[in-house]
Amino acid sequence: MPSMGTHHMANARTAATLPRAGTLVLAGLLAASAAAGGCMRRSVEITSEPAGALVWVNDEELGRTPTAFDFKWYGRYDVRLVLEGHQPLLTSAQAVAPLHEYPGPDLVASAIPNHTRLKWHFVLTPEPADRAALEAAVVERARAARAAAQPPAEAPSTEAKPADGKPAEAAPADAKPAQ
């Protein structure tokens, strides 16, 4: 039977080995994450219906849909899409951070290679078939609205004025008309 002292020595060795093993595992994980460099990539894929629209994001031309671009900051981006035969689309889109990019979890997530992909899809409206007729109708409605908003012009008086230009005096109410 082992003596009490030997058993105590075996436990001391095991206790010393466990922290050392944990430290080695932690050091290995840190070295692996440092070698990976914490590669965090963020990109947005832009598609449109119909495809082929020319895209600008924050006044920088990106090309025709479908297209993608890398970004650094989450937030609002100004987006413009132009395609012949369709009305230009001027809008904004939001790049919303996923949960692993919030303060706290981002410390762990940044040590692991990661690619965040966002998708923005836009639908373009076709232009009217007869644009000239549409513009003429808009101009006509504007003229009608302007005419309705102007005060009516005074109608010319139908009363005859005497030759001297002075207005005629009104006859008393109880006077009889001359016959």
| Global confidence as pTM | 0.51
CATH class as words, domain 34-149? mainly beta
Delimit the domains of the chain by residue range.
34-149
Q: Report the C-alpha gap between 28 and 21 in whole angstroms.
A: 10
Nearest Cα residue to 48 out of 62, 61, 60, 64: 64
Per-residue pLDDT of the chain (179 residues; tens, 9 = 90+): 555 555 555 555 555 555 666 666 555 555 555 555 557 789 999 999 999 999 999 999 999 999 999 998 899 999 999 999 999 999 999 999 888 778 887 777 777 787 889 999 999 999 887 777 778 888 999 999 998 888 776 766 666 666 665 665 655 556 565 55
